[in-house]
Structures are given as structure tokens and as C-alpha cells.
Structure 1
Amino acid sequence: MRLLHLVPSVDPQGGGVIEGVRRVQEALAAQGHTGDLVSLDDPNAPCVAAHPGPVVATGPSSGGYMYNERLLPWLKAHAGEYDAVIVNGLWQYTGFAAWRALHGTKTPYFVYSHGMLDPWFKRQYPLKHLKKWAYWPWGEYRVLRDAAAVVFTCEEERLLARQSFWLYKAREVVGSYGTSTPPDDAQRQADAYFAAFPALRGKRLLLFLGRIHEKKGCDLLIEAFARVAAQSPDVHLVMAGPGDESLTRQLQARAQTLGLADRISWPGMLSGDLKWGAFRACEVFCLPSHQENFGIAVVEAMACSRPVLISDKVNIWREIAEDQAGFVESDTLEGTVALLQRWLAATPAQLTTMREAALHSFEQRFRMEQVAEKLVEIIRTHSPPPRA
């Protein structure tokens, strides 16, 4: 098959969507399914030049909605060249343009909501939710209603998506999601990481890797770390990732007040060997998020055989708990403290067993090759029959 992937942006600092799309594309290509990637970025944007594959950048786009005048004509001219179009994400122009261009044509489109229908957003941002309601009936509602299928990455996401808007209709299917097997040579990656951050060598590293954002529970992790730091002087917290500079400064100031400034590192966004080296170097990965559709970094840690400490708002928490690949608690300070205490109380033998379980869970559930196979199956099952 030939598939077209629509994304708002290829900028990796915007979150894990583009990383997942890129990995899916690679896995599909390995199975003989070619495709193209179209974004709303300005063609001259640095992220377009830095993307490791070709991008049809239809921008520049305006506002948070990222509207531009080039995407719709491009889709109308080229959509017939593809067996299916895959829309990634909601609330930006990609979905509505796909609906306008493809509704009623022979080219089906499929939508990944990527957690953007989670009711957490409704509770956390009620004014924004009211604005979305004004747009919903003539916009995203129709995008979802007329899609060949709306693909959810896990059962938890599918159930939560029904709670945000009472006007809701979709052909729901549950696929899967994940990441590619990490590059080989784990020792080289760990060495590269410690070469960049030599002061961390010999420490028991607790890793957070992701956007520094209020929904990720970064504040909970720092407060919980303060509760256990005294009993574990060899533990060091690594807060790796891009994000809101104001929030980062607030978190760093709080760490200073708590007397933890020298026990928390803020390396910024890590990529390549440094990213994989961070996973290889840590003892466990922690994500006490208030809302997480999937959590690519969670699965990347498991692929590196690292146990994961997560909240029950990370939508794959049931799978993690079932596979005993880590610990799960509530997205509260008490729950986050419990995560760290359970980790610190584990024996070396128990941690070894958890590392093995984490890797096994990744291989059985979250390898990108399996994700690509499931996506192809969904497209073939839900695409309309060819017209006579």
C-alpha cells in the first residue's frame, strides 16, 4: 500500500507524536508499504531541514490552529495517489482539511486522536473546552464521524475519548502503538552519556525524559524525591527534556528551596546516543503524569530493559501492571512517593526480574513492527471496497 501521513508539525519539541509517526513510517516501509509525510510547517523551518526523511511542508501556517491555504488544494490534487490517508492528532487544520478533501471520495482517511479527547483537558482547561465546543459540531465531530476508522492506541484511550463531548460518533478501533527496537551497543550509548555528564557516574539514576509540562507531573516528582532523598543519598534525579521555560525555572527554584539543587540534573532535550544512553544509564524511569495517552518514553525505557514507575493516568498502565514491568500508583503526591518507595525497597533480585519483565512486555506488545502490521490490518479491514 501507499500511505499518506498528515501531521501538524515535524518539530520533535512539540511532543512524541512525530517520533511515533516517523517510527511507524520506517516499520511500514520495511514491510513494503511506501508513503509520504505532509506537515503544516513552513518549508524553511529548521525542523523540516532536520527531519531525517522527506517532508511536504505546506506552511507557513497561522495561529495555534495552524491554518494555511496550501494543504487543501494539495490534498485534492494528490490524495488519489494513496491507498489511505492517516491523520495524526486533533484541533489543528490537518483533520478538517482531510475531511474537506476526502469526504465522499474513494480515498479513505483514518484518524489517530493521540489522546487529544482525554477528559483531563476538559477538567483542567474549562474555558478552552468551551471554545472547542463552539468548533466541535462543524469541525472535529465531522472529522471523526466520517473517518473510515478512528484508531485508539489502547482500550483505556478509547473509553476515555467518549467522555469529552456528548455529540460524538466514530467507528472506533483499538490498534497498538510503540517504538522501534533501540540501536545496538548499549554500552557505547551509556559511555557516551557518562562522557557528557561525568558527575553522574556511580549514581543510582532516576530518569524523567519528556516535555517539561504541567500535565507530566514534574512537580510531583520533585516533591516526592524530596521525601525520599535523605534515605537514599546515592540516588540522583535526571529531568531531561524541552518545555516551558517559566515552568522549568519554577521547578528549579523549588528544588533549590528543598535543598536538592545538587541532586537534580536538567540536561534539556536529549537525542541520539545521549537519549538512549540516558535510558541505559538509569536504574528506573518515572512518569507520574496526570494525562498520558500512551507515553512513548515509557515504552522506550522498557525497550532498554528498564522498569517504569508510572501513574494510573498513563493509558497503558493496565498492561504495565499486568506484565509486572514496573509500579503503578495514583497521580498524586502520595502516589508518587509510593512509587519511589516501592522502587527503593525492591531487592536487587526483584529489580532484575522487573528489568526482564519490562523487556519482555515491550517485545510482546509494543514493538513498532507489530504496530505497523496492526495498522495495515485496520486499513484493509475498514477501507471501503473499490468502486466498480
Structure 2
Amino acid sequence: MKILHIITSANPKNGGPIQGIRNYESALHLLGVQRSLLSFDSPEAILDWNFPSTLKVIGLGQSKTGWQYNKLLMPWLENNIANYDRVVLNGMWTYHTYATLKAIKKLKNYNSSLSIPKVFLMPHGMLDPWFQKDETRRIKAVRNYFYWYFIEKQVINNVDGLLFTCKEELLLARTTFSGYKPKQELNIGYGIVEPPVCSKDLLEGFYNQFYISRDQPYLLFLSRIHPKKGIDLLLKAYHQKLTEMELADDLPHLIIAGPGIETDYGKQLLRYLAENPILQNRIQFVGHLSGDIKWGAIYGCDAFILPSHQENFGIAVAEALACSKPVLITTKVNIYREIEIGGGGIVNEDTLEGTYKNIAQWISLTDEEKELMCRNAQSVYKKYFNIENAAKKYFKVMTASK
């Protein structure tokens, strides 16, 4: 089976969708799937991103405008799309979804006997009602409202099916826009690759790069520096708990990893630290982490924390579980039910109070209770988010959709 993925950018720093595509490659290749990835990146940039050799990556060059218009996409699709058995559109609200269906319609009108692949769309959480309701997104919400009725609704209702990473994402997608009537809603699950085995070299690589004491426990936040991630709540909740404690050393330090500290939101967080000196030796921003350094950061932490307001899946959450690290998350992380049922972490609301509870409940656990939660975290990963199982489910959905 040949599958074509289309995405606006294949830059690994974007995380989420592109990381998921990379994660699945080895397991799907073993199942006999040949995949190509078409993106709006320059061919030169793609060479620097170290994709698996079995994944054919095609860069059409940079697109234009916020809509990601690319004049090369339609001609490429008209000449090549019939070479694939399935097409998966990753993400929404940009030119690639509209152009793909337009190209297929044009081909069918030109030659009704031509073999055209089934087309699926993976929203990656972009149908979550949070994007329409959050106050910081009012202008974008109005834009999406009109775009939905004029363009995207037709895309959603005309592709052969929508692919969701978990049941919660599927259910939330039904609540956002009227006129939502897809042909199929398919919960295909999601998985991550098995992490490398923990070693002294992994840990030392992280500790040495950021001058972190081997003996200092820490909580790890690993995601983009973005308002959606609730980092402002995390700093305030941590500050609140620290000032309440008689022995500050009983509270682990906090390490915040991820790109985006140069943004307005990132600068706001740094100002908060500057205004509260008590925090400055306890909270450290370390920037974007990848490869062995990332795994060293995860293995070295006491627990992973993500007070997100909206998280379609949370690849970093699953990675922490795979490393036997409990996760302190919110009910807005869509895989929270699996984690809560399996006892692999602590779940509260995406509020200041909820974030405070996550920290307070974690440090109140006994060593035995923490060790049990670590074992549970690994069990949750194996049951729900193992890449081999997820790839088999994905393959079954693709082959069954004839």
C-alpha cells in the first residue's frame, strides 16, 4: 500500500503532527506500507531534518500568505495523486485541504475511469471547541467561522473519513461547528516509538549541557512555550506552593523545555521570574530539546507536568509515560481518561487551583505511592500508546476503507 501524507510544514520543531508521522514510519514500513510526505518546505531544508530513509519527503518550496497558498500543489497532485492508494491530509484551515479535493474533482471530470485514492483528513485537534471559545483567539475564531461555512465544511463532509487520535478528540469535534457531517469518524488511536533505554550517558548529557545538579529533583515541562500550554498557571501555582512550604527543599525544582521563549508570551513568563526572585534559582528555561538530550531530561525528572488548556493527544505526555514517569496533567489533555484509569498520573482542571493541586498532590505522595505510579505509567503506555499496536490499527483502518 502506498500512502501520501500532505502537511504544510515538515519542520520537526513544530512537534505534534510531523512527529507523529515520523514515529509511525518504522512500524508501518514493516507492515509493507510505502509512504511519501509532501510539504511546503524547501528541498534544502528537508535535507537537514534527518527523516527516516524509507520515508520519501518532497518539498514544494515555501507557500505564500497565512492560507499557505502554493501554486505548485495543484499541478503536482494532478500529475502524481493517482500513484497512491490513500491520501492523508494533516491539519486544517489551509490551502492543502481545499486544493486536494479540487484536484481530485478536476481529475474525475477529465477521466472518470482514472483510479483515484481515498482521501482522509486528520484534524490533529483543530476541531476542538477551545479554538473557537478562547478569548485570546477571537479574531481567528471569527475567521474560522466564515472559512468553515464557505470552504472547510465542504472539505470535512466530502473526504472519505476523519482520523482521530483518541475518543475524546472525536467527541469534541462534534460540538464545534454546525453542519458537521463527515462520512466516517475513525478513532485510530496514536502511538510513540519506544524510548532508548535509560543510561548514565543520557542523564549526564542533559545534566552537563544545562549545569543541572545530579542530586536535585525536578518536575519537567516539555512542550511549546505558548499560552495554550498554561505555563503562566504553572509558574503561579509553583510560586504559591513554594511560599507555603516550611522546607523549600521538599519541593522539586521546575525545568521548562521547549521553543518559543522569544515570543511575547515567553517574555511575559521571564518578567514574572524577574519580579519574583524566590523563583529564579528554582525554575530554569532550557529551550528546545531533541534526541538524547530530550530523553535524558525525561528520564531525569521526578514527574512530567503539563497544565494545558487544549491538547489533542500530547506526544510528550506519552513519551514520559513510556519512560515510567508519572504525568501531572489537566482534563483538557485528551488522553487524560486512559491515564486516570490506569493510575499513571494526576489529573485536575486547567485552572490555577487545578495546577496547584497537581503539584501539591504529587509531593504529598509517599515514596511507595510514587513508585507505584511510575510502574502504572509504563503500563498505560504499553496498553494504549505502544507504536506497534497503534500502527496495526492504523493499517487496518487504511486497508478496510475501500
TM-score, normalised on structure 1?
Answer: 0.95
2:17 paired residue number: 17
Tell me if the contact between 1:205 and 1:283 (Cα under 8 Å) persists in the aligned partners. yes
Contact 1:43 1:59 survives alignment (8 Å): yes
Q: Counterpart amino acid of 2:276?
A: L
Alignment of 1:274-313 (within 5 A): 274-313=293-332
Q: Which amino acid aligns with 1:237?
A: L
1:28 aligns with 2:28: yes
Give the Cα–Cα distance (whole angstroms) in 1 for the partners of residues 259 and 319 of structure 2.
17
Q: Residue 129 of structure 2 is aligned with which of 100, 106, 119?
A: 119
Residue 266 of structure 2 corresponds to residue 248 of structure 1: yes
SS of corresponding position for 1:200: coil
CA separation in 2, counterparts of 1:69 and 1:300? 38
1:199 deviation in Å? Answer: 2.9
Q: CA deviation at 1:222?
A: 0.6
Tell me, yes or no, if the aligned pair for 2:93 and 2:147 is still in contact at 8 Å. no
Structure 2 contact 258–288 (Cα < 8 Å) conserved: yes
CA distance in 1, matches of 2:389, 2:3: 17
TM superposition shift of 1:143: 1.6
Deviations 1:343-362 (A, max 9, x none): 00011111111111101110
2:201 matches 1:188: yes
How far residue 201 of structure 1 moved from its aligned partner, in angstroms, is 1.8
1:208–1:287 Cα contact (<8 Å) kept = yes
Out of 344-353 and 7-16, give the one that drifted further.
Answer: 7-16
What is the correspondence of 1:339-358 to structure 2 with a 5 Å cutoff? Answer: 339-358=358-377
Letter in 2 for 1:135: Y
Q: Following the alignment from structure 1 to structure 2, what is the Cα–Cα distance between the partners of residues 10 and 48?
A: 11
Aligned length: 382
Matching residue within 218, 221, 236 for 1:205 = 218
- 3-state SS of 2:195 partner: coil
State the distance in 2 between where 1:225 and 1:154 align.
30
The DSSP-based 3-state class of the residue aligned with 1:219 is: helix
- 2:277 corresponds to 1:267: no
Which residue, out of 98, 103, 106, partners 1:101? 103
- 2:48 counterpart residue number: 49
Q: Is the 8 A contact 2:256 2:285 kept in 1?
A: yes
Partners of 2:131 and 2:386 lie apart in 1 by: 29
Q: CA deviation at 1:13?
A: 2.4
CA distance in 2, matches of 1:222, 1:261: 11
Alignment deviations for residues 156-204 of structure 1 (CA, whole Å, 9 cap, x no partner): 1111111221121112111101211002343321121112123332111
| 2:261–2:287 contact (8 Å) kept in structure 1 | no
What is the SS of the residue equivalent to 2:93?
coil
Q: 1:244: how far off? A: 5.2
Contact kept in structure 2, 1:285 and 1:301, CA below 8 Å: yes
1:47 deviation in Å? 5.2
| Percent of residue pairs bearing the same amino acid type | 40
Comparing 276-285 with 125-134, which one deviates more in the overlay?
Answer: 125-134
| Range that drifts further, 183-192 or 57-66 | 183-192
Change (3 A) 1:87 1:301: same
Q: 1:289 to 1:142 in 2, by over 3 A?
A: same
- Partners of 1:126 and 1:165 lie apart in 2 by 15
Q: What amino acid maps onto 1:87 in structure 2?
A: L
1:78 to 80, 83, 86: 80
Q: CA RMSD in A?
A: 1.5
Q: The residue matched to 2:317 in structure 1 has which SS?
A: helix
Q: CA deviation at 1:317?
A: 0.7
Q: Deviations for 1:290-340, whole angstroms, at most 9, x for unmatched residues?
A: 011000000000011000000000001111100110000000000000000
Larger mean Cα displacement after TM superposition, 56-65 or 214-223: 56-65
Specify the SS of the correspondent of 2:26. helix
Give the 3 Å change call, closer, same or farther, for CA 328–40 of structure 1 in structure 2. Answer: same
Provide the C-alpha distance between the structure 2 equivalents of 1:176 and 1:324, rounded to a whole number of angstroms: 19
Query: In the alignment, residue 282 of structure 1 is paired with which amino acid?
Result: C
**How far apart, in 2, do the equivalents of 1:223 and 1:47 lie?**
39
Equivalent residue, structure 2, for 1:386: none
Moved >4 Å (runs of 4+): none
Equivalent position of 2:40 in the other structure: 40
Distance 1:262 1:303 in 2: 30
Q: How does 1:116-195 map to 2 (within 5 A)?
A: 116-124=126-134, 125-170=137-182, 171-195=184-208
The match for 1:60 is 62
Structure-1 residue corresponding to 2:255: 238
Q: CA deviation at 1:139?
A: 2.1
Long gaps (5+) in structure 2: 109-114
Which stretch of structure 1 is more off in the superposition, 72-81 or 180-189? 180-189
Q: Displacement of 1:48 after TM fit?
A: 4.9
What code does the residue aligned with 1:355 have?
C
Q: Distance between the aligned counterparts of 1:276 and 1:102, measured in 2? A: 42
Q: Distance in 2 between matches of 1:191 and 1:244?
A: 24
Local SS of the residue matching 1:133: helix
Is this contact kept in 1: 2:46–2:57, CA < 8 A?
Answer: no
Q: Write the letter of the residue equivalent to 1:181.
A: E
